[in-house]
Amino acid sequence: MRRAAVYIRVSTQEQAQEGYSVGEQKERLIAYCKAQDWLIADIYVDGGYTGSNLNRPGIQKLMAETDKFDVVLVYKLDRLSRSQRDTLYLIEEIFLPNNVDFVSMQESFDTSSPFGKAMIGLLAVFAQLEREQIKERTKMGRIARAKAGLYHGGGYIPIGYDYDHDAGKLVINPYEAEQVRKIFEWYLSGGSLKSITDRLQDEGFTNKYGSYSSWSSVRYILENETYLGRIHFGDVLVEHAHEAIVSEEQFNAVQVLRGKRREQYGATAFQSKHWLTGLIFCGNCGGRYYLRNSGKYSYYACYSRTKQIKSMVKDPNCKNKNWKGPELEAKIDARIRELLHSPEMAADIAAHKPQAAAPVAENSSVEKRIREIDKQISKLMSLYQNDEIPTELLGEQISRLYNEKTTLQAAVTPVVEPTAMPFDLVQELIADAAQIWDFADEAQRRRIAQSLISRIILTDDEIEIEWAF
């Protein structure tokens, strides 16, 4: 007797629709198992979860327990997933390799038959197209609300605001708004995401979602232009849609600092304890320098020269100089001290800083190929509607094209205009840093250095500092 895993999914929008409720799906699927003389191994339910991804507890449990059943049964293909990529992944990478067949009751096919295998690609494409139509309708509704200066409502309401359902607008929550202001203030004073999160917890701050248990909440606040009073959705930008919590100057200064930290450290910011970490680059190959400890000695070396980490090697033939740790640190420390005690030097640097070159778009060829894929899919669908292409070939070709399109879309990178930290904020930073540099610990020096310096370039015996203003 075959063992069946019954999978049921409903999204919030579909729970009240005929044939889609948990109860109705369950009743029909159990009856189907009885008619097939299958033993029900387990019933997996995801209530109120979207089918656009696999972040669902029920589907995750099912994926982990493929040894308990021989077939997965769903009411309709899109109950499994509305994503073509996820559908094919589940069937081809999870079910079939574990000798588990997949059966969709409504479409009357299963993967144990040749026709069922051919139809999977085609039906997955239509499920994907349906999802794209839903997304498009939702997007149009949100664009219309944004143009009217209305918040989209529901879901996540930004910390610092409450949602006025009658007016369709965000209104200030005084207690939370004060927390938002402090977060911007502390970050511009050199705080990291983690240190700010720890401070919020230590001082007992809470918001509508509870305490600040993760630094991701702090990051979201720092990068959310809603706090400028804006509604921004797609190409629609509405200023003064609601009351701002922070000034545009503060917000822009934070974005500059966030961008510089991401460029220097990526996702591993502040994991190293050394104050020059992430700032030093090789003038010969463009690779990074790092601090190596060898017994009693420490020295800075280019990754390309040591080949310590393959992914960090820019030029395997690089022979740029190694620097003794204390020697290089002393030279850079002297340059920073000179800046901190000479306001005129900072003003001169800012006045003569060359304008950054306009960014070059690197996505044109990728975007062109995406447009070509869309045209090819459109042509294939026209051929299918005119009965000019076999079903098996259609499913195979569209599946290949969608996979290529998904890969290309993930590779497209946004082009961001270069910006600089406002000089009045630089002056404040220099004044504050001058008072504590002599007494600062390693962590404090790191924050000051990475706020003042974009990068340090070593070329043989030469040291060039690119300041961040």
Q: What percent of the chain has pLDDT over 70?
A: 70
177 CB neighbour count, 10 Å cutoff: 18
Prediction pTM value: 0.35
The pLDDT assigned to 302 comes to 92
Q: Please, which pLDDT band fits residue 29 given cuts at 50, 70 and 90?
A: very high
Query: Best-predicted range by mean pLDDT among 205-219, 267-281, 375-389?
Result: 205-219
Question: pLDDT digits over 156-210, tens only?
Answer: 688 998 887 777 788 899 999 999 999 999 998 888 888 898 889 888 888 887 8
Note if 294 is an active site residue. no
The pLDDT assigned to 430 comes to 81
For the cut 60, the answer to whether the pLDDT of residue 427 exceeds it is yes
For the cut 50, the answer to whether the pLDDT of residue 418 exceeds it is no
Question: pLDDT digits over 252-268, tens only?
Answer: 888 888 877 666 555 44
For the cut 90, the answer to whether the pLDDT of residue 320 exceeds it is yes
User: Comparing 203 with 144, which gets the higher pLDDT?
Assistant: 203
Structure tokens at 297: 């000695």
Q: Output the 3-class SS for the chain.
A: CCEEEEEEEECCCCCCCCCCCHHHHHHHHHHHHHHHCCEEEEEEEEECCCCCCCCCHHHHHHHHCHHHCCEEEECCHHHHCCCHHHHHHHHHHHHHHHCCEEEECCCCEECCCHHHHHHHHHHHHHHHHHHHHHHHHHHHHHHHHHHCCCCCCCCCCCCCEEEECCCCEEEECHHHHHHHHHHHHHHHCCCCHHHHHHHHHHCCCEECCEECCCHHHHHHHHCCHHHHCCEEECCEEECCCCCCCCCHHHHHHHHHHHHHHHHHHHHHCCCCCCCCCCCEEECCCCCEEEEEEECCEEEEEEHHHHCCCHHHCCCCCCCCCCEEHHHHHHHHHHHHHHHHCCHHHHHHHHHHCCCCCCCCCCCHHHHHHHHHHHHHHHHHHHHHHCCCCCHHHHHHHHHHHHHHHHHHHHHCCCCCCCCCCCHHHHHHHHHHHHHHHHHCCHHHHHHHHHHHEEEEEEECCEEEEEECC
Q: Please, which pLDDT band fits residue 307 given cuts at 50, 70 and 90?
A: confident
Cβ atoms of 25 and 17 within 8 Å: the answer is no
Structure tokens at 361: 């778009």
For the cut 50, the answer to whether the pLDDT of residue 16 exceeds it is no
The pLDDT assigned to 270 comes to 42
Lowest mean pLDDT, pick from 49-63, 267-281, 309-323, 333-347: 267-281
Q: What percent of the chain has pLDDT over 90?
A: 24
Cβ atoms of 13 and 33 within 8 Å: the answer is no
Catalytic residue among 11, 104, 217, 451: 11
Nearest to 299 by CA among 458, 146, 102: 458
Q: Are strands 206-207 and 210-211 parallel, antiparallel or unpaired?
A: antiparallel
Amino acid at 452: L
Separation of alpha carbons 205 and 192, rounded Å? 17
Query: Best-predicted range by mean pLDDT among 207-211, 416-420, 444-448?
Result: 207-211
Q: Please, which pLDDT band fits residue 323 given cuts at 50, 70 and 90?
A: very high
User: Comparing 58 with 447, which gets the higher pLDDT?
Assistant: 58
For the cut 80, the answer to whether the pLDDT of residue 398 exceeds it is no
Question: pLDDT digits over 77-109, tens only?
Answer: 889 887 766 887 898 789 989 999 999 888 777
Mean pLDDT of all residues in 212-241: 80
Cβ atoms of 455 and 463 within 8 Å: the answer is no
Query: Best-predicted range by mean pLDDT among 178-192, 338-352, 355-369?
Result: 178-192
Question: pLDDT digits over 233-243, tens only?
Answer: 666 677 888 89
For the cut 60, the answer to whether the pLDDT of residue 356 exceeds it is no
421 CB neighbour count, 10 Å cutoff: 22
The pLDDT assigned to 100 comes to 93
Lowest mean pLDDT, pick from 149-153, 317-321, 342-346, 441-445: 149-153
For the cut 90, the answer to whether the pLDDT of residue 62 exceeds it is yes
What is the overall mean pLDDT for the chain?
A: 78
Lowest mean pLDDT, pick from 87-96, 338-347, 424-433: 424-433
Lowest mean pLDDT, pick from 122-136, 232-246, 320-334, 351-365: 351-365
The pLDDT assigned to 452 comes to 82
Q: Please, which pLDDT band fits residue 365 given cuts at 50, 70 and 90?
A: low
The pLDDT assigned to 347 comes to 78
Structure tokens at 258: 């966030």
The pLDDT assigned to 240 comes to 82
